[in-house]
Amino acid sequence: MSKLEVKYPLHTQEILNVNGNEAIAYAVKQSLVDVVSAYPITPQTIIVEKFSEFVADGLVHTEFVPVESEHSAMSACVGAAAAGARAFTATSSQGLALMVEIVYIASALRLPIVMAVANRALSAPINIHNDHSDAYLMRDAGWVQLFTENVQETYDTTIQAFRIAEDERVLLPVAVNLDGFFLSHTLENIRVLPDNAVAEFLGGYRKVAKLGVDYYEEQVPHMLNPARPLTFGSLDLYDYYFEHKVQQVEAMKNVPGVVREVNEKWFELTGRRYGDGVIDAYGVEDADIVVVAMGSGAGTVRSVVKKYRERGEKLGLVRIRMFRPFPYEEVRSLLRGVKAVAIMDKGIGPGSFGALYQDVVSSLYDLGSHPLTVDYVYGLGGRDLTPELVVKMIEQVKEDVKTGRVKEKIRYLGVRG
């Protein structure tokens, strides 16, 4: 399909000058969300603040539930989604840490909630700026985790997230990650679809999936309904807990296909797509050295990699857009034959490696010959990733390739000695 056949060509898409948070609020406004429940926390606050204005102005039908904590925010979303509603919340850092108990419950109950996470460092020391430690905190929570690189992608991904979450092959909650301040508070001109186009893309209001139980002859909607009661969240011991966990894993297997499909549908609609939806790769076909990164930092890396490639140096970038489920097979096939891989972690696991490093290296283990790998921890607590730091990293890795070995498996980019 050529770009000319895009259903909503650029000139039909309104230009908005918004930051990442406002872009998400606007996307949620267009997504026919029934319930929004949230608690303010920097740098996420603007999302629900802006959205509450839409509610006050009567621009949405949404029930807005202000709560006393993030634990309650996610609980309200669980209740709303279990009652058949399309539910949304947003949080950051400590807020996510406080709600994490219910974060696991949302995925295990298979409720397609969408949550924006404006990524921020975890305390202590207290810090409001960006890194990925909050997203790493929930990596085993059974949520789909998508990372965005710019404000436009944040808008696009939020709408896509509802469609991915509610797909009958998935039925899992989705977290849309945007880097705190770097995206949440940075103004960008973005293109938005008309309201009716978003409604059409999502198929209108949420359609609840059906399931079969022994005591109803027909399949019934997976929701709380006094006319046809179902038991949600009952005690599940050693006789069934394991089976229910395997069901979650099986649902995760369907996610990459659905994410790719939604990425393509979005392209047909808007003319925009992000790699194959799962991975946004640049220059890896012939690359000797590949950098793996997530979020806004990938943009900085791409610009540096581009300059190297213009000088004829074989460098590439793999931007992981879908961090959970982790695209093991795609990473393995992309990095086959590469000499060295620098994996950039914007989060730290004291006593271990960064989460992204662990996943990438696990993906590579089955290859016959392994590239050299280095874990580059960068940007903690919002420290800027400058192009100079990326150059420093690449020059170090080039040196590793020359000597054929990596002395330090973990290196810190931009920390004072």
Partner 1 sequence: MSSQRGWKELPLGGIAYRLSTDVKTGDWRALKPVVDHNKCTKCMLCWLFCPDMAIIWDGEKIQVNYDYCKGCGICAHECPVKAISMIPEFEEV
- Residue 107 is given by DSSP the state H
Piece of 20-28, 46-54, 227-235, 252-260 that binds partner 1 (CB under 8 A): 227-235
CB-based contact 31:54 (threshold 8 Å): no
Distant-in-sequence, close-in-space partners of 249: CB < 8 Å, separation ≥ 6: none
Site mask, partner 1, residues 250-269, x = CB under 8 A? Answer: xx------------------
- Select 23 or 144, whichever has its Cβ closest to partner 1: 144
For residue 80, the minimal CB distance to partner 1 (Å) is 15
Contact between 171 and partner 1 by CB under 8 A: the answer reads yes
Taking the C-alpha atoms of residue 363 and residue 15, their distance in angstroms, rounded to an integer, is 40
For residue 154, the minimal CB distance to partner 1 (Å) is 29
Contact between 111 and partner 1 by CB under 8 A: the answer reads yes
- Select 126 or 213, whichever has its Cβ closest to partner 1: 213
When binding is defined by CB under 8 A, the residue of 54, 104, 232, 412 that contacts partner 1 is 232
The rounded Cα 169 to chain-centroid distance in angstroms is 18
Contact between 246 and partner 1 by CB under 8 A: the answer reads yes
Place of tokens 């003319």: 271
With CA atoms as reference, report the closest residue to 118 among 130, 101, 103, 106: 130
Contact between 123 and partner 1 by CB under 8 A: the answer reads no
For residue 230, the minimal CB distance to partner 1 (Å) is 5
With CA atoms as reference, report the closest residue to 348 among 376, 385, 372, 389: 376
Residue at 393: amino acid letter: M
Piece of 31-39, 188-196, 241-249, 285-293 that binds partner 1 (CB under 8 A): 241-249
Contact between 101 and partner 1 by CB under 8 A: the answer reads no
Taking the C-alpha atoms of residue 276 and residue 256, their distance in angstroms, rounded to an integer, is 10
Contact between 217 and partner 1 by CB under 8 A: the answer reads no
Contact between 90 and partner 1 by CB under 8 A: the answer reads no
With CA atoms as reference, report the closest residue to 293 among 366, 399, 379: 379
Give the helix, strand, coil percentages of the chain, each rounded to 5: 40, 20, 40
Contact between 218 and partner 1 by CB under 8 A: the answer reads no
Residue at 357: amino acid letter: Y
When binding is defined by CB under 8 A, the residue of 53, 203, 240, 391 that contacts partner 1 is 240
Distant-in-sequence, close-in-space partners of 29: CB < 8 Å, separation ≥ 6: 51, 54, 59, 60
Which tokens is 297 given? 């930092």
Phi/psi at 65 (nearest 5 deg)? Answer: -115, 100
Site mask, partner 1, residues 331-370, x = CB under 8 A? Answer: ----------------------------------------
H/E run at residue 174: strand 174-179
For partner 1, how many residues bind (rule: CB under 8 A)?
26
Contact between 83 and partner 1 by CB under 8 A: the answer reads no
Contact between 238 and partner 1 by CB under 8 A: the answer reads no
Contact between 239 and partner 1 by CB under 8 A: the answer reads yes
Positions in the binding site for partner 1 (CB under 8 A): 108-111, 171, 209, 211-215, 222, 230-234, 236, 239-240, 243-244, 246-247, 250-251
